[in-house]
Amino acid sequence: MTQDLNRRQFSAGLVLTPFAAGGLLAGCSRIPDTVRIGVAQPLSGPIAALGQDLLNGVTLAVKELNAAGFNVDGKQVTLEVVSVDDKSDVETGKKVAQQLVDAGVVAVIGHLNSGVSIPTAPIYAAHGIAQIAISTNPKYTELGFPTTLRMVANDNLQAAAIASFSAEQLGGKRYAAVDDGTPYGKDLANGAAKRLEAAKKSVALRQSFDDKTVAFDELAAKLKAENIDVIISALNDFQVLALLQALKKINYTSVRLLGSDTAKTTDMIKGDGIIDGLYATSPVLEAKEFTAGPQFLEKYGAAFGKPPAYGGHYSYDSMYVLSQALQLAKSAKPEDITAALHKINGYAPVTGTMKWDEKGEQRYAAVGVYQLRRGNWELRMRSDRW
């Protein structure tokens, strides 16, 4: 079952009525008939495909769990997805986070952007609601809330991967580091630049934009003037594509670009062959890299008519681990589920396992480096110790 709170007018009355009518607290059982799972992702705007992919992963898992007769403490329970669109915007994110709280969700899978996950975290934490995010900025889990949990490796490891691979494998002489101005992008680019400088590499150009900029003619001219041969990018995929077109326009294409995980998308295939090399680091390892990946990809394609765009397999796994936490807690109280998530070494159908440390970081997480070749992202290296 799925509801989208952004497709109808939201009010407390509208949300509470189904609780009473549906008998969610029927009898003496502590377990309601229906348990609501919140999903907060960007479902509109330039990175909507990524947010929709994360929602799809949860939707697919819930469909399978319901079909299998999911139960908690011996009682069959219907899982219901309540989805909201955070629009990659801080204020919208806070608004929809409160909507999910008011809707009675027991946990939230969201958000994608670190710049939205961080300011919404106190809203969920105030109600003991676990927030399982794919956001990678380390500040998210440094807030000190037991409710902040991360699906993948954080940007400390990703920054180390960017610096290590670009310094040792790309052999650049003059580097540029550019970002999208978000907490995610700026901190990641700064971290990578500091590590490059520590490795005695010249970061000749460092520049921030906002996360909507697509006018890069001036930047392209600066890159050419500074004779940059490796670009470290924490821009979104559509921004990288715009930058590639700007470089092509001035015939400065003998460069390589190493992007972050927001550039490692299917849309980036449009940029294949424009410059000498397109690479990307990502803590979001591809489904096909895991033993169970092909089976997941087949099911996902059958359900949605296309392959995953980003991290749908991680949100799918997160939902399965969350379902196990519900069973371990034998409760639908958010604080009980959060406590169970910290204890669990959950079986994740695609990636194998999810286990969180006391801060909410994944104990088993790695960062891969990929190269775009012949229309596909091919794994070059992967490590959990960059």
Which pLDDT tens digit goes with each residue over 229-266? 999 999 999 999 999 999 999 999 999 999 998 899 88
Predicted confidence at residue 198, as pLDDT, reads 95
Predicted confidence at residue 30, as pLDDT, reads 78
Asked if residue 141 is part of any domain, the answer here is yes
| Mean local confidence (pLDDT), 97-117 | 97
Same domain, 226 and 109: no
Same domain, 147 and 162: no
Asked if residue 207 is part of any domain, the answer here is yes
| Mean local confidence (pLDDT), 16-45 | 69
Residue 189 phi/psi, 5-degree rounding, is: -65, -40
Structure tokens at 368: 């891969």
Structure tokens at 123: 């809203």
Does 9 have pLDDT greater than 50? no
CB 353 within 8 A of CB 324: no
Same domain, 266 and 326: no
| Mean local confidence (pLDDT), 195-207 | 97
Same domain, 99 and 121: yes
| Mean local confidence (pLDDT), 115-139 | 97
Residue 342's H or E segment, with its range, is: helix 334-343
DSSP E strands, 31-172? 34-41, 71-72, 75-76, 78-85, 107-110, 130-133, 148-150
Q: Whole-model pTM?
A: 0.85
Amino acid at 61: A
Same domain, 9 and 131: yes
Measured CA to CA, the distance from residue 378 to residue 368 in angstroms comes to 10
Taking all residues of the chain, what is their mean pLDDT, rounded to a whole number? Answer: 92
Predicted confidence at residue 22, as pLDDT, reads 39
Measured CA to CA, the distance from residue 192 to residue 211 in angstroms comes to 19
Predicted confidence at residue 6, as pLDDT, reads 52
Q: How many domains does the chain have?
A: 2
Structure tokens at 313: 């397999």
Residues 342, 107, 47, 4, Cα dihedral to 10°: 170
Sort strands 2-4 and 78-85 into parallel, antiparallel or unpaired: parallel
Same domain, 222 and 304: no
Per the rule left: phi > 0, alpha: psi between -120 and 50, beta: everything else, 132 is beta
Predicted confidence at residue 383, as pLDDT, reads 95
Asked if residue 301 is part of any domain, the answer here is yes
Q: Which of 235, 278, 229 is nearest to 257 (CA)?
A: 278
Binned at pLDDT 50, 70 and 90, residue 4 comes out as: low
Can you name the residues that pair with 132 across neighbouring β-strands? Answer: 109, 149
Over the range 334-366, which residues count as b (16 or more CB within 10 Å of their CB) and which as e? bbbbbbbbbebebebbbbeebbbeebbbbeebb
Asked if residue 234 is part of any domain, the answer here is yes
3-class SS at 41? Answer: strand
164 lies in which domain range?
A: 155-282+367-383
Asked if residue 361 is part of any domain, the answer here is no
Predicted confidence at residue 19, as pLDDT, reads 33
Does 20 have pLDDT greater than 50? no
Does 26 have pLDDT greater than 90? no
Same domain, 170 and 145: no
Same domain, 344 and 277: no
Q: Environment class of residue 162 by beta-carbon count within 10 Å: exposed (0-12), middle (13-18) or buried (19+)?
A: buried
Same domain, 275 and 314: no
Instruction: Report the CATH number that the domain containing residue 344 is assigned in CATH.
Output: 3.40.50.2300
Does 189 have pLDDT greater than 80? yes
Same domain, 322 and 266: no
Same domain, 159 and 148: no
Predicted confidence at residue 266, as pLDDT, reads 84
Asked if residue 360 is part of any domain, the answer here is no
